Amino acid sequence: MEQTEIKNCCRHDLLLVSDNVIDRMEGEAGECWRQYPAVPLIYTRQEIWEDIPENDGSGMIRCGLSLPYKENGTRKRFAVYIGPDAVLQVKTPFEVAEDLAGDNGRIGKLLEEIQKIPGIRAGIYGSAALEWVSGYRYLTDMSDVDLIIEGESREALYGFYHMLPGLEQLCQTNLDLEARFPGGRDVKLRELFSTQDTVMVKSVDNVELAGVEDLWKLIG
């Protein structure tokens, strides 16, 4: 893909890459990835890691590789750099949710319910998205479900927030939620509706504190 297309990516987007990239990946990351070649990469905050001198970040994409198994209770993860020409397809959390909403499982039913809520668009990321796209098992019955929510207005998000207990009961699991504001700025939804005046905002470029009222002004 073109560099300009990749620059439009946001946090949690999944990158499907060519087999050649997986075959050429060196070290432990490559060895593990080749055992699960259908695992996509996760687009993450773009910064240069000083502890990886062989990858100075120039023209490269920083990604996360999260594998479908754990070691000592911790998900096996790696940070990798790839060139933009290695990316075959980008799947946003919202595109994954559109696909998954047709599934008969608990997450598919949850997404179908959310689709009925006016002014709300839901995306899915994390283990549920990785499992759906790769076909490997990431989830257990105890796994939280990670959702990212776009609201047309403050009122729409507020209405969705107050529906959470019913939605969690429907899918019989906890929901870990982020609200996405224009510019790919993501905020924990529960923090947004707390008594805090400022919240942590994450994007592919930065992590910063922002005023809650300033964020609301972005969507009216």
Return the pLDDT at 143: 87
Q: What are 25's two structure tokens?
A: 């990946």
**Can you tell me the distance from the alpha carbon of 190 to that of 97, in angstroms, rounded to the nearest whole number?**
21
Region 151-179: mean pLDDT is 93
Q: What are 70's two structure tokens?
A: 């754990």
| Backbone φ and ψ of 215, nearest 5° | -65, -40
**Which of these, 199, 175, 202, 198, lies nearest to 186 by C-alpha position?**
202
Region 23-39: mean pLDDT is 96
Fold of 93-183: GMP Synthetase; Chain A, domain 3 (3.30.300)
Least confident residue range of 40-54, 81-95, 163-177:
40-54
CATH 3.30.300-classified regions of the chain:
93-183
Return the pLDDT at 27: 94
**Which of these, 43, 51, 61, lies nearest to 2 by C-alpha position?**
61
Return the pLDDT at 5: 67
Return the pLDDT at 47: 67
**What 3-state class would DSSP assign to 29?**
helix
